[in-house]
A = this chain, B = another copy of it.
Amino acid sequence: MERPLILVTNDDGINAPGIRTLITIMKDIGDIVVVAPDSPQSGMGHAITINSTLHSSRITPKDSEITEYSCSGTPADCVKLAINELMPRKPDLCVSGINHGSNSSINVIYSGTMSAAIEAGIEGIPAIGFSLLDYRWNADFEQSKSFISMITLNALNNGIPKGVVLNVNIPSVKKSDIKGVKICRQAMAYWIEEFDKRKNPLGQEYYWLTGKFINEDLGEDTDEWALNNNFISIVPVKFDLTAHHAIKGLNQWDFK
């Protein structure tokens, strides 16, 4: 196989330690182009920029080994711009991350990391989002490197099924404590919001969004179970959101 062309992006911004680690891993696997947000975009979900303009800057010199662009947009914007304007050809793979913090279970919906991977998937490019279960800027990404490399090579060799992107979450433990990799379903969990209500110096109220993560899904085939038991979780994620099982029931409604 020729060296694959790999698009690297994230949602924590191009200077985040997580993406710097991912770049180090990927440059041993293929030729890479980095297109990532110029500032943190956590929680951006699948936002795209349609009511304002986008700009990008090449931040590596013309003759440097790796081509890197920072972009003013969201993670989904970065992927669109990369594929359609900045890359020499359609990439063979898109990797997003390594996210600082979990994107397991329902977090996939809010995740900028995963929205970048999903955007690539929609455009027909095999894609993987990687997240480490440590939200800190100085999280220890070293422990996860060999696993990310191994999963990426698997994806390149086996091919990711069409219409599917991979959501990979990695426990934040020593490499030797990782028990293996589990293919999982998304746990049916949710957040209970806790709005922290404050007053500004003018006496006006404002809120910080905080919350508590609730997982009542006890299945041992879920990503939450795997992560809690020191397995790396891989959830195959799709962007056909149709609840096919509900179609029959809805056809009984009376639409007159």
Contact = CB atoms under 8 A, between A and B. Distances in A.
B53 A42 contact: no
Interface stretch (A15-23, A60-68, A92-100, A186-194): A186-194
A115 B84 contact: no
A11 to B, nearest CB: 11
Contacts of A110: 46-48, 76
Given A80-B193, A209-B54, A163 B236 contact: no
A1 interface: no
B239 A109 contact: yes
Contacts of A193: 80, 83-84
Given A43-B51, A45-B45, A241 B195 contact: no
Nearest to A254: B154
Contacts of A186: 240-242
Interface stretch (A2-10, A28-36, A169-177, A243-251): A243-251
Contact of A237 (B108, B195, B241, B255): B241
Given A54-B206, A161-B246, A185 B240 contact: yes
A179 to B, nearest CB: 11
B48 A47 contact: no
Nearest to A198: B53
A244 B237 CA distance: 8
A158 interface: yes
B44 A47 contact: yes
Interface in A55-83: 55-56, 74, 76-77, 80-81, 83
A14 interface: no
21 contacts: A45-B45, A45-B76, A46-B109, A47-B74, A48-B110, A48-B209, A53-B198, A55-B207, A80-B209, A85-B207, A109-B241, A151-B255, A154-B253, A161-B243, A161-B246, A181-B255, A183-B250, A185-B247, A186-B241, A237-B241, A237-B243
